């Protein structure tokens, strides 16, 4: 079992939490436009909001000195997701 104060545990939290919220933003928050149900948020907004969700557990864990490695894992995952987003957004078209 993963140690609750480990980089791997934090990285897994930081990777899974944004995925869950992205699916939530795309599949649950729907509005009707032109007689069709579409997501309330467009895709880039959903991606950024899903990444921003990582702020909550990160700030909570970094305040507690016993879970510093877990917080660092969440931060690592967030930076990796952000780097992939920037690459796909700005360098994919070039």
pTM: 0.82
In a domain, 2, yes or no: no
Cα(49)–Cα(39) distance, rounded to whole angstroms? 14
The model's pLDDT over 9-65, given as tens digits with 9 standing for 90+, comes to: 999 999 999 999 999 988 888 888 888 888 888 888 888 999 999 999 998 888 877
Cα(91)–Cα(85) distance, rounded to whole angstroms? 10
Chain centre to alpha carbon of residue 70: 15
Q: Which domain holds residue 53?
A: 7-91
In a domain, 11, yes or no: yes
Number of domains composing the chain: 1
In a domain, 60, yes or no: yes
Q: Is the pLDDT of residue 1 over 50?
A: no
């Amino acid at each position: 079992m993963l140690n609750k104060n480990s980089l791997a545990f934090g990285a897994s939290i930081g990777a899974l939490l944004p995925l869950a919220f992205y699916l939530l933003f795309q599949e649950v928050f729907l509005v009707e436009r032109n007689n069709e149900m579409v997501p309330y948020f467009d895709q880039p907004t959903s991606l950024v909001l899903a990444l921003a969700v990582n702020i909550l557990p990160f700030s909570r864990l970094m305040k507690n000195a016993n879970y510093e490695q877990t917080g660092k894992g969440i931060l690592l995952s967030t930076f990796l997701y952000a780097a992939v987003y920037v690459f796909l957004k700005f360098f994919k078209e070039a």
